[in-house]
Amino acid sequence: MSGKPAHIIVVGNEKGGTGKSTVAMHLIVSLLSMGGSVGSIDLDARQATLTRYVENRRRCRDAGRSMAMPEHVSVPPTEDPTVDRDRFLEAFEHLSASHDVVVIDTPGSNHPLSRLGHSFAHTLVTPLNDSFVDLDVLGKVDPAAMKIERPSHYSEMVWETKKQRAMRGERSGMDWYVLRNRLSTLDARNKREMERLLGELAKRIGFKVLGGLNERVIYRELFLEGLTLLDFGDGSPGAMSLSHVAARQELRRLVEGLNLIRLLEPASPPE
């Protein structure tokens, strides 16, 4: 471990199906492949995509493939918000005391557990499909003028969770990144409009826009074996197609954009 307090990465968006769990798993394995020690929490334990992804990976490792694993905890919601909160805090405290980084995957809905998870983020990553339907959870667009009218519900939720964390007396800030996902190579006009509107919104509510990941079948295929793009090539078993190579490039850019390596640098000694 780096000896620094754990860095908390939350992957969140109130819209479902934008790639949160896929991105969470790729961030976890990116950090592991850089030698980091990683804890992970699934706050979308009803659907449990990240938990299943990690279980599939464990099965593949038990079958003989050498693969680094996170320490994973799933926090299934109950009928009692106090029980949920306590369970989350217990998992969170344990993992953040034991690892360099904790990655939290959240549901695509405004659930109290999700809001609580968001309030601990040092880095918030919001994958967004390149569509105006998805943009709508971040900002309301005036369709006549094609301009941002105002921030919308997810942006307001992020704002509220920042206040919640300030009220707890936390002094560290939260860096918010929006990651364009499932980009199509076909629709250049839509892409440009999204880029412009996201840029406008980014300035207004204070997030950074990351380059993004293209739409690629490979992301859907990796899940069953618990693999990520990081598990191919560089001497590891498995063939690399040109599409894998390009996808890995996109992922590298994402890791660089988030500056993940700094999270694993050793703490500087006291003066």
Which positions touch ligand ATP (CB under 6 A)? 16-22, 44, 47, 49, 108, 181-182, 213, 215-216, 219-220
Task: Give which of ligand ATP, Mg ion, none residue 213 binds (C-beta under 5 to 8 Å, depending on kind).
Answer: ligand ATP
Task: Tell whether residue 13 is a contact of Mg ion (CB under 5 A).
Answer: no
How is the chain classified by DSSP, letter by letter? --SSPPEEEEE--SSTTSSHHHHHHHHHHHHHHTT--EEEEES-TTT-HHHHHHHHHHHHHHTT------EEEE----S-HHHHHHHHHHHHHHHHHH-SEEEEE--SS--HHHHHHHTT-SEEEEEEESSHHHHTTTEEEETTTTEEEEE-HHHHHHHHHHHHHHHTT-----EEEEEEESB-SS-HHHHHHHHHHHHHHHHHHT-EEE---B--THHHHHGGGT--GGGSSTT-SS---HHHHHHHHHHHHHHHHTTGGGGGSPPPPP-
User: Smallest distance, Å, CB 219 to Mg ion?
Assistant: 13
Among 13, 18, 21, 228, binds Mg ion (CB under 5 A): 21
* C-beta closer to Mg ion: residue 52 or 244: 52
Task: Tell whether residue 126 is a contact of Mg ion (CB under 5 A).
Answer: no
* C-beta closer to ligand ATP: residue 2 or 21: 21
What is the pattern of x (binds Mg ion, CB under 5 A) and - over residues 41-70?
--------x---------------------
* C-beta closer to Mg ion: residue 4 or 52: 52
Task: Give which of Mg ion, ligand ATP, none residue 65 binds (C-beta under 5 to 8 Å, depending on kind).
Answer: none
* C-beta closer to Mg ion: residue 117 or 264: 117
Q: Which residues here bind Mg ion, judged by CB under 5 A?
A: 20-21, 49
